[in-house]
């Protein structure tokens, strides 16, 4: 019995996968997909290629998946911090300046900055440290002319590490201000 | 027989003496083996410097106690359901106390119960015991209505040298409550010897990720790790629980409605209530002793400060005012002070202030990172997470002498919390990638790990004794 069904279900899966990829292509349409060319991330290149296919498929889905897609595309670069520090590092300023430019261009976009910490500090203090980091990023963007009202902050302390591991490489990745687009 | 017949009960190392002397401050008498009240030893004068060191309780004189399994009707079902859990609980409770040393069961005499004659007494003394806790268990279950019966446990504490019965008690409860009966008996024994009940009926709430899906929920359990149960069902990140002093409520931080909020839930579960707040961050809730207020770490414009608020969200008040990080408030047991952590002078250190926010002073100076203060029940000591280099350890600061003791020395150790009687400290210990909750004496001796499923962190011990 199982052997009979398996190829069939595989075919179905394949068909479904095709459909879903097609659907994903539709998503950029109402969003700011043209913006794609402007933004500096490498993730954009495949998007324009698929735009032709897009026309073939009727567009239904509104805002929500677009934001998801925008976040996946990674237009906004995360910021990294030194151990037990919340000051924006000099080497992180260029990235923030690029983020600010993007935010100026797409001025309907609202964002959330998440403050994260590495695992070494105490959980409770890190909660406060993450708040400081998120807030430092917000303040820096505001100093570059971004309306602070577009930026909300949240701290996750050391609760949501990006990278597993107990070494400086992992820790450095986990001390970050992470950008999430919440509205466009 | 090695046991000291009339030696002082409490001739201990200075630190242990200091701990036990807090009982003396209460005016509670301690009984010697003869049932006489003896004055407590004086606290040894502390050495002048603020030195971290580990003191073990080896060499302390403990009272040798024999706890044979309860006498019960011969019935395998009864044995597994009642007699074994009763015995396990009783020996676990009393064996955890610094007061007792349990006599070796392999040396117990056959029979010799009840212990009435000199010969019988000597047979027990030969096993190294000085006292015998003799128990009997019966189930008053009628055949017509199985499952409706009551457990009756009868206990007698016998001084084997005089053959006098020092304590005689009878306990009744449902079969499901057999562990509770054992805890109650253990508390009565603790009261007999130390003047106050042990922590055996208290609860520990904690955070667990065992439900998976990157969620953390608030759980609670008995002090020995039995009866673990989930209290919250947010399927979100719920963190940093704190018991109200009367044991009825638990406050915690949760992201279950998006931004972080402070919630209060009954300690036996039920619906959680959010404390309405205009601040963000909203971490580290700590109940005031009267249960009316909650201190917490909140943020306005991205700057974490210590706030207090009524449990209904009214009277929000900011206590600290510093551009630095202020976090992790802990209300003192007398309600007059709040400990918190701040990096206002560099690294994270622990400070004390009045409950109104005035009179801020730093109280930890050693090490590079100190946080997560926990007041002992009498308020005279502070346990906290301390680090100089490497992993965090647990330290205990004696607020009267200013001396600090490091009580752990392996793995990473964080988030200490005192048992309501001050006889134990629980904390989270991480070894490799696994974090679990451990319980030990305040000097770090007698450590046991009491959780195993998933990662379990942030223990908070209930503060009421029953």
Shared-domain flag, residues B323 and B290 = yes
A69 domain residue, yes or no:
no
In a domain, B312, yes or no: yes
Q: Domain with A94 in it: what CATH number?
A: 3.30.1330.60
CB-CB under 8 Å, A125 with B371: yes
Q: Are residues A19 and A52 in the same domain?
A: yes
> Are A92 and A136 members of one domain?
yes
A71 falls within a domain: no
- Dist. CA B455–CA B448, nearest whole Å: 16
On whether residue B7 sits in a domain, the answer given is no
* pLDDT value at residue B287: 98
On whether residue A67 sits in a domain, the answer given is no
| Contact residues, chain A, for B253 at CB < 8 Å | 127
Tokens of B187: 């508390």
Same domain, A96 and A174: yes
Domain extent for B76: 63-194
B304/A138 touch (CB, cutoff 8 Å), yes or no: no
Q: Is residue B54 in a domain?
A: no
Indicate if A44 and A102 belong to the same structural domain: no
CATH number, domain containing residue B139: 3.40.50.10070
CA distance B242 to B219: 12
Question: Does residue B348 fall inside a structural domain?
Answer: yes
Domain-embedded: residue A132: yes
Do B250 and B341 lie in a common domain? yes
Among B141, B167, B194, give the residue marking a domain's end: B194
Q: Which among B283, B301, B347 has CB closest to A127?
A: B283
Final residue belonging to a domain, choices A12, A37, A61: A61
Do residues B176 and B208 both lie within one domain?
A: no
For residues B430 and B298, state if they share a domain. Answer: yes
Residue span of the structural domain in which A52 resides: 2-61
Q: Is the dihedral of CA B90, B96, B101, B102 positive or negative?
A: positive
Predicted confidence at residue B158, as pLDDT, reads 97
What is the structure's pLDDT at A72? 87
Q: B295 - beta bridge partners?
A: B286, B308
Q: Is residue B281 part of a domain?
A: yes
CB contact under 8 A, A132 and B240: no
Considering the domain architecture, whether residues A54 and A109 belong to the same structural domain is answered as: no
Q: Which of B283, B296, B329 to mutate to test the interface with A (most CBs of A within 10 A)?
A: B283
- Which residues, including other chains, have CB under 8 Å from residue A15's CB and lie 6 or more apart? none
Do residues B137 and B169 touch, judged by C-beta distance below 8 A?
no
Closest CA to A97 of A63, A64, A140, A133: A140
Nearest to B429 by CA among B372, B385, B369: B385
Distances, alpha carbon B429 to alpha carbons A111, B413, B439, in Å: 37, 5, 10
Q: Please indicate, yes or no, if residue A80 is contained in any of the structural domains.
A: yes
My answer on whether A97 and A177 are in the same domain is yes
> Are residues A35 and A110 both part of a single domain?
no
Counting as low any pLDDT under 70, the low residues of chain A are 1-65
A24 and A57 fall within a common domain:
yes
Residues A91, A161, single domain; the answer is: yes
Q: Select from B194, B212, B242 the last residue of a domain.
A: B194
* pLDDT (0 to 100) of residue A182: 95
Domain endpoint, select from A36, A61, A86:
A61
Q: Does residue B53 lie in a domain region?
A: no
Q: Is residue A68 part of a domain?
A: no
Range 362-391 of B in CB contact (< 8 A) with A: 369, 371-372, 385
List of chain A residues whose C-beta atoms are within 8 Å of the C-beta of residue B374: none
Peptide bond into B114 cis (omega under 30): yes
Question: In this predicted structure, what is the pLDDT of residue B35?
Answer: 34
Query: Based on the domain organization, do B387 and B252 belong to the same domain?
Result: yes
Is the same domain home to A81 and A114?
A: yes
Assigned domain for B278 exists: yes
Number of domains in chain B: 2
Between helices B84-95 and B178-194, what is the axis angle to 10°? 30
Residue where one domain finishes, among candidates B194, B215, B230: B194
Domain count of the fold of chain A:
2
Query: Which residue in chain B is spatially nearest to A124 when comparing CA positions?
Result: B328
Q: Which of B377, B323, B385 is nearest to B349 (CA)?
A: B385
pLDDT at B145: 65
Question: Is there a contact between B381 and B397 (Cβ–Cβ < 8 Å)?
Answer: yes
Residue A118 in domain: yes
Within 13 A of B224's CA, how many CA atoms are on the CB side? 20
Choose the closest CB to B283 out of A124, A132, A136: A124
Do A7 and A35 sit in the same domain of this protein?
Answer: yes
Find the distance separating the first CA and the last CA of chain A, reported in whole Å.
50
Chain A interface disruption, residue of B327, B389, B459, most A CBs within 10 A: B327
Q: Which residues of chain B have pLDDT under 70?
A: 1-60, 141-147, 466
């Amino acid at each position: 019995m199982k052997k009979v069904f398996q190829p069939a279900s595989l075919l179905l899966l394949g068909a479904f996968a095709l459909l879903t990829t097609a659907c994903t292509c539709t998503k950029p349409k109402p969003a700011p997909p043209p913006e794609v060319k402007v933004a500096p991330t490498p993730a954009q290149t495949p998007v324009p290629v698929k735009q032709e296919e897009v026309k073939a498929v009727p567009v239904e889905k509104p805002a929500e998946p677009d934001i998801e897609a925008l976040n996946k595309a990674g237009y906004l670069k995360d910021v990294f911090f030194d151990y037990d520090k919340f000051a924006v590092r000099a080497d992180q300023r260029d990235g923030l300046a690029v983020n600010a430019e993007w935010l100026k261009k797409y001025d309907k976009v609202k964002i959330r900055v998440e403050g994260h910490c590495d695992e070494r500090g105490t959980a409770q203090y890190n909660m406060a440290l993450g708040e400081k980091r998120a807030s430092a990023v917000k303040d820096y963007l505001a100093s570059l002319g971004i309306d602070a009202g577009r930026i909300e902050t949240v701290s996750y302390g050391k609760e949501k590490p990006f990278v597993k591991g107990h070494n400086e490489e992992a820790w450095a990745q986990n001390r970050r201000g992470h950008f999430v687009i919440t509205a466009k | 027989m090695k046991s000291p017949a009339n030696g002082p009960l409490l001739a201990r190392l200075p630190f242990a003496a200091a701990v036990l002397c807090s009982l003396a401050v209460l005016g509670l008498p301690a009984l010697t083996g003869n049932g006489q009240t003896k004055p407590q030893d004086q606290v040894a004068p502390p050495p002048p410097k603020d030195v971290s060191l580990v003191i073990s309780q080896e060499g302390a004189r403990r009272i040798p106690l024999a706890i044979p399994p309860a006498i019960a009707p011969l019935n395998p079902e009864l044995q597994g359901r009642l007699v074994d859990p009763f015995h396990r609980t009783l020996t676990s409770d009393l064996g955890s106390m610094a007061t007792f040393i349990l006599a070796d069961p392999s040396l117990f005499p056959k029979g010799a119960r009840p212990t009435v004659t000199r010969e019988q007494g000597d047979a027990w003394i030969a096993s190294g015991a000085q006292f015998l806790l003799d128990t009997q268990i019966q189930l008053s279950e009628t055949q017509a209505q199985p499952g409706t019966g009551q457990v009756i446990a009868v206990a007698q504490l016998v001084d084997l040298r005089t053959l006098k019965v020092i304590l005689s008690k009878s306990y009744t409860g449902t079969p499901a409550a057999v562990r509770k009966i054992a805890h109650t008996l253990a508390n009565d024994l603790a009261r007999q010897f130390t003047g106050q009940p042990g922590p055996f009926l208290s609860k520990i709430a904690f955070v667990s990720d065992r439900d998976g899906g990157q969620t953390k929920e608030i759980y609670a359990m008995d002090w020995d790790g039995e009866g673990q149960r989930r209290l919250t069902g947010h399927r979100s990140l719920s963190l940093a629980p704190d018991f109200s002093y009367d044991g009825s409520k638990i406050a915690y931080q949760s992201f279950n409605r998006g931004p972080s909020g402070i919630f209060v839930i009954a300690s036996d579960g039920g619906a959680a209530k959010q404390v309405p707040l205009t601040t963000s961050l909203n971490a580290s809730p700590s109940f005031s002793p009267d249960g009316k207020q909650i201190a917490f770490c909140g943020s306005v414009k991205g700057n974490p400060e210590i706030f207090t608020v009524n449990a209904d969200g009214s009277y929000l008040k900011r206590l600290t005012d510093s551009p630095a990080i202020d976090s992790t408030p802990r209300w003192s047991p007398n309600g007059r002070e709040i400990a918190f952590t701040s990096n206002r002078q560099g690294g994270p250190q622990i400070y004390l202030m009045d409950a109104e926010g005035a009179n801020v002073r730093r109280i930890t100076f050693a090490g590079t990172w100190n946080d997560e203060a926990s007041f002992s029940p009498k308020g005279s000591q502070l346990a906290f997470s301390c680090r100089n280099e490497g992993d965090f350890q647990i330290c205990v600061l004696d607020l009267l002498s200013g001396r600090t003791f490091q009580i752990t020395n392996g793995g990473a150790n964080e988030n200490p919390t005192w048992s309501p009687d001050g006889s134990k400290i629980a904390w989270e210990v991480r070894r490799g990638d696994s974090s679990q909750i451990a319980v030990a004496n305040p000097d770090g001796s007698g450590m046991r790990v009491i959780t195993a499923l998933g990662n379990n962190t942030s223990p908070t011990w209930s503060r009421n004794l029953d």
